[in-house]
Structure 1
Amino acid sequence: METEDELNAKIMKITMVIQENYPELSKFLNEMPVTIPIDNHPKVNLINLQKYYDSLLNLFRKYVAEHQLANSNRSSNNHHL
């Protein structure tokens, strides 16, 4: 299992990629269920960091895949046989 520092570095990296390359996704970062604590004093631990990283990665991958598909469809619609 990764350390807290390693997970924090990965979270920072993917967050920066999202903000720099897909700024339209940035608005969803604060709305993710993982970032909304239920407890008054939530604890940061490896499990929670891993869940947050996984949710960021899923959001990113899903958006990029949909974005590429939409661009692909747009390109193919412009090139009729």
Structure 2
Amino acid sequence: METEEEINAKIMKITMVIQENYPELSKYLNEMPVTVPIDSNPIINARNLDKYYNSLLNLFRNYVAEHQLNYIKQTTGSGHL
């Protein structure tokens, strides 16, 4: 498993890509369930950071895939590749 520092670096990188290239997606970063801790003193460890990173990655991938599909539909008039 990666260290907390390595996962934090990946989180920072994907967050920066989202903010620079897809600013409209940035508003969802603070609304992600993973970022709203239930405990008053949440445990921050490599496992929890990895979960957060994966949720960011899924959000990013899904948005980009949908964005590309919408672009294809607009340019070709159909949803087929």
| Common fold by TM > 0.5 | yes
Q: 2:21 aligns to what?
A: 21
The structure having more radius of gyration, on CA atoms, is: 1
User: What is the aligned partner in structure 1 of residue 37 from structure 2?
Assistant: 37
Matched with 2:5 is 5
| Higher relative contact order (Cα pairs below 8 Å, separated by 6+ residues) | 1
| Deviation digits for residues 55-74 of structure 1 (CA, Å, limit 9, x no counterpart) | 00000000000000000010
The CA RMSD measured in Å over matched residues stands at 1.1
| 1:12-71 Cα distance to aligned partner (Å, 9 max, x none) | 000000000000010000000000000001010011100000000000000000000000
> Take 1:42 and 1:8, find their aligned partners in 2: how far apart are those partners?
16
Provide the aligned length of Structure 1 versus Structure 2: 78
The answer to whether 1:58 aligns with 2:64 is: no
Gaps of 5+ in 2: none
Q: Distance between the aligned counterparts of 2:47 and 2:77, measured in 1?
A: 45
SS of the residue 1:59 aligns to? helix
Give aligned-pair identity as a percent: 72
Q: How far, CA to CA, are the matches of 2:46 and 2:5 in structure 1?
A: 10
The secondary structure found in structure 1 opposite 2:41 is: coil
Determine helix, strand or coil for the equivalent of 2:13: helix
